[in-house]
Structure 1
Amino acid sequence: MTQATSHQINQHVGDPSSPRLVSPAGRLAAQIVDGVLIAVTAGIGWLVWASWLFDRGQTPARQILGHVVADARTSRPVGWRRMAYRELFLKFVCAYTFGVVTLGVFTLIDAVMVFGDRRRTLHDRMADTVVVHR
């Protein structure tokens, strides 16, 4: 990654053109809101709502909280395909499967990585994304 690209996505106080990364607490809030919405709608309502939002790089919770999943290199919101890959395959299928197989170790590692470089979790790194404020 070039220095300019890294600079483009990092948080800079007083630089309004730079996207602000969502804090670990903000990301946890989005996970909780999505979880509640999935439970309340038996997953179906969440999936229908999400299918309308994926092309904007959002889930229902991310829309409510003003977060956008963006390309790590360009800071532009990811499209429908990449969002579906990130949310449905990486976070749901892989995280669930690997979480069960590793007795939760995979899930813990994924969550703890949010405190590292550019607040990217393991699934963010696999999808080459960051989560920013809209």
Structure 2
Amino acid sequence: MTEPPAGYRPPPSYGEQVSAPSYPPHQATRADLQPYAAPLPYPQQSYPMAGQLVSPGGRLGAALLDALLMLVTLYIGWLVWSVVTWSEGQTPGKKLLGHVTADANTGHPLDWGQMAMREVCVKGLVGWLLGMLTCGVYGLVDSFMVFGDRQRTLHDKMSNSVVRHV
């Protein structure tokens, strides 16, 4: 039989008093003294502010510029340019005006997949379907929501995004 290691104590038996182990004193560091800020469920300005939020007029300008580019390029050139700029969280109109679509929580620009989901699925398919079901009322409500909290439209809320300056 081997000897137990130095400092080994057998486990206490039932009812035996046990004292708490002693540890060396803790030296507080600067990191320990910093207060902890818990994240808010709906942060108002928790994203890094590389730029301020785009005004409703700026968003209208980007939408009109996108529509003009669609007409001039016969939609094909705009579509190809869109697929390229989605990787930066932008559409061609937003790219020209210096706007970026960002995640509402982190402030980081949306990646290609998130932009494709936002533009094709949310704005395109869901927007078209809800527009058809409500006889166009959805489009009006979606447009006028830009005057509300953080200039977010319904499709921004569905895709958890904000539009800010670069």
Aligned residues: 128
Which TM-score applies when normalising by structure 1?
0.87
- Does structure 1 retain, via aligned residues, the 8 Å contact 2:66–2:93? yes
1:6 aligns with 2:44: yes
1:20 aligns with 2:45: no
- Does structure 1 retain, via aligned residues, the 8 Å contact 2:50–2:165? no
Which of 89, 100, 108 aligns to 1:68? It is 100
1:11-90 matches, cutoff 5 A: 17=49, 19-90=51-122
Aligned mates of 2:50, 2:43 — CA distance in 1 = 11
Aligned mates of 1:9, 1:79 — CA distance in 2 = 16
- Does structure 1 retain, via aligned residues, the 8 Å contact 2:101–2:162? yes
Aligned mates of 2:132, 2:74 — CA distance in 1 = 21
- Does structure 1 retain, via aligned residues, the 8 Å contact 2:70–2:77? yes
Shift of 1:6: 2.1
Tell me, what secondary structure is at the counterpart of 2:44? helix
Shift of 1:109: 0.7
- Which of the pair is proportionally richer in helix? 1
**Larger Cα-atom Rg:** 2
Which TM-score applies when normalising by structure 2?
0.71
- Does structure 2 retain, via aligned residues, the 8 Å contact 1:19–1:75? no
- Does structure 2 retain, via aligned residues, the 8 Å contact 1:8–1:18? no
Which residue is 1:13 aligned to?
none
- Does structure 1 retain, via aligned residues, the 8 Å contact 2:146–2:153? yes
1:109 aligns with 2:147: no
- Alignment RMSD (CA, Å): 1.9
Which stretch shifts more, 38-47 or 108-117? 38-47
Tell me, what secondary structure is at the counterpart of 2:54? coil
Tell me, what secondary structure is at the counterpart of 1:8? coil
Shift of 1:4: 9.2
Deviations 1:64-86 (A, max 9, x none): 00000000001110000000111
- Does structure 1 retain, via aligned residues, the 8 Å contact 2:54–2:164? yes
Which stretch shifts more, 73-82 or 85-94? 85-94
